[in-house]
Chains A and B, each alone.
Chain A
Amino acid sequence: MPSLLLVVLLVEVAVHLVNTIGATAINDMLWNIYLALPTEVSKQATEKNRLQKEYLAIRRDLNATSSQDQFAKWAKLRRQHDKQLEQLEKMKASHDASKAKFDRTAGVIRWSATSGVKFILPWIYGKEPMFWLPNGWFPYYVEWILSFPRAPLGSISIVSWQTACAAAVLLFSDSIKAILASVLGTKSAQKQPATSTTREKGPTPASSTANGKKDS
């Protein structure tokens, strides 16, 4: 097993990633991956897409056929249209149901792999010191807080370590964001002179960088 310090850090990174990307986006991504696998559900999904295409084709035909001049053809198309619509609706319902089920399962797994672990680890390793502070470097109350809640005095508790990791991850991600923003900003600024004068657009990237830094 990798060291507990590393595990806690990784969990914090994972939690942060989930929070920034967004749970729905992750679920959608997983769902698309799931659909690409050769499962029953993916077969259904391709079937549904095929049916939808057919349905649209029939619909186009139906709209192009005059009901007054070619009643027989129109009525036959109409029958097909109604039948396919009914089928499609049924398929859509079952598709939605399986997606909802998938979302639920994925949500539970995702939560227990990130937030669940985050809550459980301090509970299990609450009494274990992460590492010891050099003796006498810090006053008593600082030591007390750092060892909160159950770790022996003079050590860093897992909760403190988690908090520190979370803060570090946040700081790190914010600085990455700021760097990205400034890089993209200069890039778009470099592109712009082709279309308009440089002088007018000059100050824009600087201000956007400033904004990015302010955010962090």
Chain B
Amino acid sequence: MSAAVVSADDDIFEPTLQSILDQKTLRWIFVGGKGGVGKTTTSCSLAIQLAKVRRSVLLISTDPAHNLSDAFSQKFGKEARLVDGFTNLSAMEIDPNGSIQDLLAGQGEDTDAMGGMGGMMQDLAFAIPGIDEAMSFAEVLKQVKSLSYEVIIFDTAPTGHTLRFLQFPSVLEKALAKVSQLSNQYGPLLNGFLGSQGQLPNGQNLNEMMEKLEGLRQTISEVNAQFKDENLTTFVCVCIAEFLSLYETERMIQELGGYGIDTHCIVVNQLLFPRPESNCDQCNARRKMQKKYLDQIEELYDEFNVVRMPLLTEEVRGKERLEKFSDMLIHPYTPPE
């Protein structure tokens, strides 16, 4: 039985993530896929491998269900923290929905007391779709920029979420352009009856606020440009050899193409390699199904680095196991004969 057919070394696109390690210009790496396919394990492994060849690596989880702490058996928070046992690998977990509350709380304590104009302006600004997540994202990026990491790996939330996240810059830029234009047109009018200082009722300044928004817009468009640069950013798709996962991956790859975000790596996780003499019916049946989808993947994504990862008999948690697992991203797994 040919259960050992994994390697396709004659391919031009080798089945490893070596190309990512070799591409020294990379700054942002996104790891994404459907839920439960092993995004966190893959991103942790990739981070470990990158830490071996780069000066400093930061791993960020934007998944509301944070798993980094789980994978490394160590608590991470909103601030970047070194991972135990590494000198150049840090990790942090951000909640894309949480930080907007902080932001709002910091803006004006007496908003409720005054009601009226200030609240309205805020409502207007925050009514832009996706602005909350984008703002927290921008906040993180600002932080990350000042921290000067060589590579930043994003462990993203399941598919739909990720795509929305990456879409923000474009959406937001459009929305903010509208707001800026509005303020330019009606600014003089508003200033006319707000007084020469442009003071809003709750002590905010109209011009200041517009400047802030404009600044945000600039940050975001800068980030947008970086994400669309294939020398700086790449997206690693993680999937399992099953129909729905494959379907989502295809959709994601098409959408990423639409946004102009580079992607050339696919990690196929949780592959079964039952021993030839194994008489586990489920394993053999599943292996057969996975084989079918693997062939389809090979046919469809002939211009991708398709990495095949085995399903282990143990949970991949803790530094040692992650390191062992991560090795298979670089050296293709060969099942025991």
Contact = CB atoms under 8 A, between A and B. Distances in A.
Given A68-B243, A71-B243, A78 B296 contact: no
A72 B296 contact: yes
Given A67-B247, A68-B243, A79 B296 contact: no
Contacts of A75: 250, 300
A67 B293 CA distance: 11
B299 interface: yes
B299 A79 contact: no
Contacts of A39: none
A71 B246 contact: yes
A104 interface: no
A82 interface: yes
Contacts of B293: 71
A127 to B, nearest CB: 55
Contacts of A67: 243, 247
B334 interface: no
Contacts of B297: 72
Nearest to A69: B292
Interface in A54-109: 67-68, 70-72, 75-76, 78-79, 82
Interface string B295-313: 1110110000000000000
B107 interface: no
A67 to B, nearest CB: 7
A71 B254 contact: no
Contacts of B300: 71-72, 75-76
Given A70-B296, A71-B293, A71-B296, A78 B250 contact: yes
Contacts of B243: 67-68, 71
Nearest to A68: B243
Interface string B223-258: 000000000000000000001001100100010000
Size category of the binding interface on chain B: 10 to 19
> Secondary structure at chain A's binding surface: helix, strand, loop or mixed?
helix
Interface in A162-200: none
A70 B297 CA distance: 10
Given A71-B300, A72-B299, A79 B247 contact: no
Nearest to B243: A68
Contacts of B246: 71
B254 A82 contact: yes
A79 B254 CA distance: 8
A119 B254 CA distance: 60
B240 to A, nearest CB: 13
A78 B247 CA distance: 11
B185 to A, nearest CB: 29
Of B250, B295, B297, most A-chain CB atoms within 10 Å:
B250
B241 to A, nearest CB: 10
Contacts of B250: 75, 78
A62 to B, nearest CB: 13
A214 B98 CA distance: 79
B153 to A, nearest CB: 27
B245 to A, nearest CB: 11
Nearest to A76: B300
Nearest to B247: A67
A164 B175 CA distance: 63
Contacts of A78: 250
Contacts of A72: 295-297, 299-300
A76 B254 CA distance: 11
B193 to A, nearest CB: 43
A75 B251 CA distance: 9
Interface string A23-45: 00000000000000000000000
A215 B85 CA distance: 99
A82 B250 CA distance: 13
Interface string B269-303: 00000000000000000000000010111011000
Interface string B131-168: 00000000000000000000000000000000000000
Q: Which of A75, A79, A82 has the most CB of B within 10 A?
A: A75
Contacts of B254: 79, 82
Per CB-CB distance, the 7 closest pairs between chain A and chain B, nearest first, are: A72-B299, A71-B296, A72-B300, A72-B296, A75-B250, A75-B300, A68-B243
20 contacts: A67-B243, A67-B247, A68-B243, A70-B296, A71-B243, A71-B246, A71-B247, A71-B293, A71-B300, A72-B295, A72-B296, A72-B297, A72-B299, A72-B300, A75-B250, A75-B300, A76-B300, A78-B250, A79-B254, A82-B254
Interface of A: 67-68, 70-72, 75-76, 78-79, 82
Interface of B: 243, 246-247, 250, 254, 293, 295-297, 299-300
Given A67-B247, A72-B295, A72-B297, 18 more contacts: A67-B243, A68-B243, A70-B296, A71-B243, A71-B246, A71-B247, A71-B293, A71-B296, A71-B300, A72-B296, A72-B299, A72-B300, A75-B250, A75-B300, A76-B300, A78-B250, A79-B254, A82-B254
